[in-house]
Structure 1
Amino acid sequence: MSENPVDPGQPAAPPPPPPQDHHQSGVAAQERQWAMFAHLAAILGAILTSGIGGWGTFLGPLIIWLVKKESMPFVDDQAKEALNFNITVAIVWVVLWLLVFTFVGIIIAVPGFLITGIAWLVLTIIAAIKANDGIAYRYPFSWRLVK
């Protein structure tokens, strides 16, 4: 047993564990962070551009996917997931906008916009949190258009 140089009567404390690059999920910290950014980029895109259902919501996930798909498999998966979900929401919003031009459509479209918008925000935040935890999140209502 080695002696503690500060207090010669005490044994030395064990060395700290080496820093770990991987989370308990087995996904590297940098990959988890980029995957989280892929989901959150949709919210940023909605703020900076035309809102939910607009082109800005899928531009961020698309850029992250194109840049990181070859080097980070977890980011590839999660960015595609975010991209597909935001394209799906954009399609739903286009249909709702088309319904606005009919009398009955207004009754359907207004609550549809509200429900879709809240669901989009909640599911995007959940996806970002899961991705940061290293868990591959699957949106419940999403067409897998980008494979």
Structure 2
Amino acid sequence: MSEFNEAPESGSSSGVPVEQRQWAMFAHLSAIAGAVLTSGVGGWGTFLGPLVIWLLKKDTMPFVDDQAKEALNYNITVAIVFFALWVLVFVTLGIGFLIAIPAWIVVGIAWLVFTIIAAIKANDGVSYRYPFTLRLVK
């Protein structure tokens, strides 16, 4: 069966129960909701949703534990990249904007695309691993 030790519910070929797949999908999508809700203050809320879901469900839902940690790690990694680009801008007294603005656009689009892919995979019961992610939360 599956490493997530519950029998699949109706329509699941992955072996992950429907409720766990939905919560895992919410963990990924909550980053987008956090970005939208905190966009006026820098979008810092991208990691809050995955963090809350992970803290609430980590002990009872193994698939959600795995995917919420993955979403949390990815959003922390992206936040570090955005912060590093801001440091570049300040250290170069604004000249770094020539690099930072295109980088922010590319990273932002990649963040959105990978987050949507992760949510779809999680809803299918597949453990998704984001590329270029620092695994800070184990």
Q: TM-score, normalised by structure 1?
A: 0.82
Deviations 1:17-42 (A, max 9, x none): xxx61510000000000000000000
Q: Is the 8 A contact 1:21 1:28 kept in 2?
A: yes
- Which residue among 37, 50, 65 is the counterpart of 1:48? 37
Does structure 1 conserve the Cα–Cα contact (< 8 Å) formed by 2:27 and 2:68?
Answer: yes
Alpha-carbon offset, residue 51 of structure 1 = 6.6
Deviation at 1:53, TM superposition (A): 6.8
2:108 to 86, 92, 117: 117
Q: Conserved in 1, the CA contact under 8 Å of 2:37 and 2:43?
A: no
Q: Which has the larger radius of gyration?
A: 1
Given the superposition, is the C-alpha separation of residues 77 and 50 from structure 1 closer, same or farther in structure 2, using an over 3 Å criterion?
same
Match for residue 27 of structure 1? Answer: 16
Residue 124 of structure 2 corresponds to residue 136 of structure 1: no
Q: Tell me the equivalent position of 1:62.
A: 51
Unaligned runs of 5+ in 1: 1-19
- 8 Å CA contact 1:53–1:86 kept in 2: the answer is no
Equivalenced residue count is 128
Question: Matched residues, percent identical?
Answer: 71
Q: Spell out, residue by residue over 1:47-73, the C-alpha distance to the aligned partner (whole angstroms, 9 max, x if none).
A: 001379733100000000000000000
Where structure 2 has 5 or more consecutive residues not aligned to the other structure, the ranges are 1-7
